[in-house]
Amino acid sequence: MGQPVIVPRAEHAISRKQIDPDALRVLYRLHQGNYLAYLVGGSVRDLLLGRRPKDFDIGTSAHPYQVKRLFRNCWIIGRRFRLAHVRFGSKTIEVATFRRQLSADELAALDSQPPTEGIQVDAHPRDGHDRVLHRDNTFGTPEEDAFRRDFTMNALFYDIASFSIIDYTGGLKDLDARVIRCIGDPAVRFQEDPVRMLRAVGMAARLDFSIDPPIDAAIAAHAGEIGRSAPSRLIEEFYKLLRAGASERAFRMLAERRLLDPIAHQLQKGSGDALWQSLSALDAYRKRFEETPATLTNAVLLGSLLAPLGPGAGGALAPPVQHGELRKEPALSLGMLPLARRDVERLRQILGLQRRLLDMNLSPRARRALTHRAPFQEALTWLDIHGQAPDVLEHWRGFIEAAGSFEAETEETGSPAPRRRRRRRRRRPPRTTTT
C-alpha cells in the first residue's frame, strides 16, 4: 500500500450531472454529517468509460446505524455484513461502510473465540442493536476497502468532497490499457470466492477488454472450484451475463476456459451454432435499448439459453406433469443451476403461444383475446428476438396500436364500444312422458 493517485476534477470527465440525483443526495448528506462519502465500484468505472451505470453504490466511513440516523428512509439489511439501503420510491441506493481484509493471524484469533466475542465496530451503540460482525466484515479505511475488492477497475472512488477520483490499486492505468487485472494473487482471490472467475470473464466480454494472463492461468488451475459456489449466486450471475448485451461473447469465453463444465455440462457440451445464434439474437435485441428493458424477463433469458439445447435441457422444456397424475414433478435444474418453477412455467407458456402468434388467419376477436393473456408481451418479445418473422411482428404491433387508439377514443368520447347483440335462445317445449 502506498500513496493513491488522485485525479482532480479538471482532469477527468465525470460530471455530477451523470450521477443519479438520489445518489447525490445521499453523498451530500453523509458529507454534511462529517463522514467520508465516495461513489464506489462499477459506477465510477462505467462513468469513466462513458457508459451508463446500472447502480450507484456508495462507500462511507459512517457505520450502518450512523447512516440510519441521517436518513429516515433507511433500512439496515444483512446478517454477515450490515448494509444500509436508502430507498427513494422503488429505487434503492446501497451504502456500505469501508471494510478491510483480516490477516491470517486475526482470522485464527477469531476462530478461537466464542461466537459472542466478535469484533466490536461501534463502541457506543445508541439504539441497543448488537454490533457483532463476522470475520470478513471488519470496518476499515478507504485504502483497506480498495485492496479487499476483486479487480483494479472496481476499486476506483469518486470523492464528493473534492469531486476527484482516488485510485489506490492502479485501476486507471488498467482502464487505459483495457485489461482486467486482479488485486492481489488471482489464485488466492478465486479460492476465496470462485464466482470472481465468472465476473472476470463477464466484464471482459461486456467491456471488450483483455484478461490479464495471470487471471487466465489461475482460471485454468482452479476452474473446478466454481462448483463450490452457491447455486443461487451462480444463476444470478448467469442472468446478469444474459442481460448485458454481450452474452454470446461471454459464453464463448466461458466455454473456451472450461468454466461451464463444472456448472452445467449440458452447456459445455451443447455450445454450438444453435446456442451462439440464440445468444447473438438476444444481444442484438438488448443493444436496441439504452437500459435493460423490462421485457427481458428471466423466462425469456432462460429460454434463449435452454431452447437451443433441446427438450432434455434440465427437463425445463419437457411437457409438465398433469394435475391428475400421481407422480410429483421433480425440481428443475440445469446442471447445478436451480431453475425457478415460475420462470420455467412462464417459458412454457411463451413457447406455447408462438404458434398462435404466427397464425395470420386468427379472427379479430381471437387476436384481442390473445393480447389479454398474461404472457402475451413476453411471447411477443420472444417472437421479436427469435421468431425471424418481421412481417408477423409488424402486423401484431399495428393491431395493438389500433386497439389502443380505439380504446383511447372510447374513453375520450365516453361512449362504450358497441356490443354484439346476443341471440335469444328458443325455448323448447317441455317433454311429455307417456305411460
So which residues are the catalytic ones? Answer: 55, 57, 150
Find the distance separating the first CA and the last CA of the chain, reported in whole Å. Answer: 109
Question: Where are the strands (E) in 183-281, listed by range?
Answer: 210-211
Angle at 270 between CA 264 and CA 197, to 5 degrees: 45
Sign (positive or negative) of CA dihedral 357, 359, 365, 369: negative
DSSP 68-82: HHH-TTEEEE-SSS-
Spatial CA neighbour of 14 closest among 128, 221, 123, 159: 159
Report the distance separating Cα 119 and Cα 127, nearest Å: 18
Report the distance separating Cα 301 and Cα 136, nearest Å: 34
How many Cα atoms are found within 13 Å in the side-chain-facing hemisphere of 80? 2
Spatial CA neighbour of 171 closest among 187, 196, 188, 147: 147
**What are the respective helix, strand and coil percentages of the chain, to the nearest 5?**
45, 10, 40
Range 21-58 burial, b when 16+ CB lie within 10 A, else e: ebbbebbeebbeeebbbbbbbbbbbbbbeeeebeebbb
Measure CA 7 to chain center: 31
Spatial CA neighbour of 192 closest among 183, 179, 201: 183
Range 315-339 burial, b when 16+ CB lie within 10 A, else e: bbbeeeeeeeeeeeeeebebbbbbb
Torsions phi, psi for 41 (to 5 deg)? 75, -140
What grid cell was written down for 110?
Answer: 477469531
Q: Can you name the residues that pair with 100 across neighbouring β-strands? A: 138
Identity of the amino acid at 391: D
Report the distance separating Cα 128 and Cα 14, nearest Å: 41
What grid cell was written down for 283?
Answer: 444481444
